[in-house]
Amino acid sequence: MARGKLIVFEGLDRAGKTTQCQMLVEALKKDGEKVTFMRFPDRTTPIGQMINSYLSGESEQEDHVIHLLFSANRWEAVPKILEAINSGTTVIIDRYYYSGIVYSAAKQNPSMTLEWCRHPDVGLPRPDIVVFLHISPEDAAKRGGYGTERYEQKAMQDRVRELFKEVRQSKEGGDFNVIDAGGSVEEVQESIYDLAKGLLEDESGPLRTVGEW
Ligand code: 2DT
């Protein structure tokens, strides 16, 4: 039996990640594919509840601590991810460690470079592809204001945009497939669906792990 694939969605707020992710899951299920959906942060676990309380502003955490909690929230899901993939189920994830490193580095804490932020995630399952939904600042603005959670402010989002660019230019940039998210929901979905179908048809080697930069 072929292993399942690991597909991650990333992008800025307002790019339509969650909608597109869920549409892809439904479309692939309709085709009879075995797929499962996950998202990070997973706010349902005890660690996830601490993250949720931080994001909503109910609690404070030191910058490094919250960074490590986000990473721990991924590590605690690894057995589930591997089990699915090994049993032939494709795992589709809304945000992963790329969000983890860029949002933390965007805080501009002097000891939290992209490289430092990336360390705790080294060894995680590495996605077969990253679907990066690209949206211009103008189009993002047209889609309405930001929400009320921590990080949902323009200055932070501008830094996140720049840092995502750096990640896409790094050694693992080849994993990224940049999709223009400025079109209609249906147009964007069509490009993503084609990309995912191509991947599912591909023979693939063993699942890789996230390596050092
Ligand atoms: P959602 O709006 O998608 O629930 O994201 N974030 C996310 C981090 O700072 N570090 C991480 O590791 C992850 C996965 C991005 C909530 C916010 O959490 C940020 C937005």
pLDDT at position 143:
84
Instruction: Retrieve residue 91's tokens.
Output: 């795992």
Domains present along the chain, CATH in parentheses: 6-202 (3.40.50.300)
- Phi, psi angle pair for 37, to nearest 5°: -110, 140
What pLDDT score does 14 carry?
87
Are 9 and 20 contacting, i.e. CB atoms less than 8 angstroms apart?
yes
SS3 45: coil
The closest residue, in CA terms, to atom 1 on ligand 1 is: 41
99 Cα–ligand 1 center, Å = 6
Q: How far apart are the first and last CA of the chain?
A: 32
Please list the residues that pair with 178 across neighbouring strands. 132
The pLDDT tens digits of the residues spanning 89-110 come to 999 999 999 999 999 999 999 9
Of 42, 73, 95, the residue with max ligand 1 atoms within 8 A of its CB, to mutate for a pocket test, comes to: 95
| Distance between Cα 94 and ligand 1 center (Å) | 10
Residue 3 contacts residue 85 (beta carbons within 8 Å): yes
Q: Whose CA is nearest to atom 4 of ligand 1?
A: 41
- Best residue among 12, 22, 103 to mutate for probing ligand 1's pocket (most ligand atoms within 8 Å of CB) is 103
Tens digit of pLDDT for each residue in 50-71?
Answer: 999 999 999 999 999 999 999 9
% pLDDT > 90, the chain: 89
| pLDDT per residue rounded down to tens, the chain (213 residues) | 899 999 999 998 889 999 999 999 999 999 999 999 999 999 999 999 999 999 999 999 999 999 999 999 999 999 999 999 999 999 999 999 999 999 999 999 999 999 999 999 999 999 999 999 999 888 887 887 788 899 988 899 999 999 999 999 999 999 999 999 999 999 999 999 999 999 999 988 999 999 999
pTM for this prediction: 0.97
Q: How far is the CA of 183 from the centre of ligand 1 (A)?
A: 24
Q: In DSSP terms, which residues pair with 94 in a beta bridge? A: 9, 39
